Structure 1
Amino acid sequence: MKKEIWEWTKAIVIAVILAFFLRTYIFATSIVEGTSMDPTLHNGERVIFNKAIYLIDEPDRGDIVIIQHPNKNYVKRVIGLPNDTVQVKNSVLYINGEKVSQSYLKEEQRLATDDFGPVEVPNGQYFVMGDNRDISKDSRNGLGFINEDDIIGRSELIIFPFDNVSLTR
Structure 2
Amino acid sequence: MEKENTSSSWEWIKAIVIALALAFLIRYFLFAPIVVDGESMSPTLHNGDRMIVNKISYTLFEPERFDIVVFHAPGGKDYIKRVIGLPGDEIEYRSDTLYVNGEPVEERFLDELKENYQGETLTNNFELVDVTNEFVVPEDHLFVLGDNRRHSKDSRDIGTVPTDKVIGKASVIFWPITEVRVAK
Normalising by structure 1, report the TM-score: 0.94
Deviates more, 1:144-153 or 1:2-11: 2-11
Match of 1:84 in 2: 89
1:114-137 CA distance string (max 9 Å, x none): 101044211111100000011111
Aligned CA-pair RMSD: 1.5
- Counterpart CA distance in 2 for 1:156 and 1:27 is 11
- Counterpart CA distance in 2 for 1:13 and 1:162 is 30
Displaced runs of 4 or more, over 4 A: none
Where is the strand percentage greater, Structure 1 or Structure 2? 1
Cα displacement (A) at 1:30: 1.1
- Counterpart CA distance in 2 for 1:147 and 1:77 is 14
The percentage of counterpart residues that share the same residue type is: 46
- Counterpart CA distance in 2 for 1:146 and 1:153 is 13
- Counterpart CA distance in 2 for 1:65 and 1:88 is 21
Q: Tell me the amino acid that sits aligned with residue 139 of structure 1.
A: S
Matching of residue 101 in structure 1 with residue 106 in structure 2: yes
Matching of residue 34 in structure 1 with residue 38 in structure 2: yes
Q: Tell me the amino acid that sits aligned with residue 123 of structure 2.
A: T
Cα displacement (A) at 1:4: 2.0
Q: Tell me the amino acid that sits aligned with residue 133 of structure 1.
A: R
Cα displacement (A) at 1:168: 1.5
Matching of residue 162 in structure 1 with residue 177 in structure 2: yes
1:21-72 CA distance string (max 9 Å, x none): 0000000111111100001100111111011111121111010000112331
Q: Tell me the amino acid that sits aligned with residue 25 of structure 2.
A: F
Normalising by structure 2, report the TM-score: 0.86
Unaligned runs of 5+ in 2: 130-135
